[in-house]
Amino acid sequence: MFGVALRQVPVRYRGAMEVQLRSAVPEDRPWLFQLHEDAHRDLVEQAYGPWDVEQQLQFFQPLMEDHAVFIVELGGSPVGAVYLGSRDNDLWLELIEVVPGLQGQGIGSAALGWVVTRAREEGRGTRLQVHKLNTRAHQLYEREGFTRADETTTHHLLRHQ
């Protein structure tokens, strides 16, 4: 969902590197889909079989239309994305992605910290779901204070108070 205006905001969370977040614009869409493929292709293929571009575009379209989308930048270059919605009076982190070659350097932690702080400032918790096979993301969320609230056959549902 474009239109949730956020000027570039510097974010540093618990000593993690400083990143900037800005609202996505329609021109970011091709880069965002490429990031989505780069960040999730291995997991999708492991869990569901071959990556089907047309099918993934069908999944990706509602992400862009139904969520507030933010670009995470480092030194003026895009390095990640955050997709936010709202469910049950909580801020819902639909998706957070970081360029694979830059994962593990604090970018995701800084962006996640921004999401949790934003929810707290609004008097809400933060919810998300993480695929059970995505152990690195799961470790990040647990380290950042998320706890398991529920699960499906494929995902853990996590919440941060």
75: domain CATH number is: 3.40.630.30
| Global pTM value | 0.86
Q: Cα–Cα distance between 22 and 20 in angstroms, integer?
A: 7
SS3 36: helix
Look-up: residue for tokens 């398991």? 148
Domain span including residue 155: 9-160
155 domain-assigned: yes
User: Is 2 contained in some domain?
Assistant: no
- 61-97 per-position pLDDT tens digit: 998 889 999 999 988 899 999 999 998 889 999 999 9
Residue 14 lies in a domain: yes
* Pick from 102, 98, 97, 109: nearest CA to 139: 109
User: Given this model, what pLDDT does residue 99 score?
Assistant: 96
Average pLDDT value for residue range 112-118 = 91
Q: What pLDDT score was predicted for residue 68? A: 94
% of the chain at pLDDT higher than 70: 89
What is the number of domains present in the chain?
A: 1
d(CA 152, CA 57): 24
Question: Across-strand partners of 10?
Answer: 20
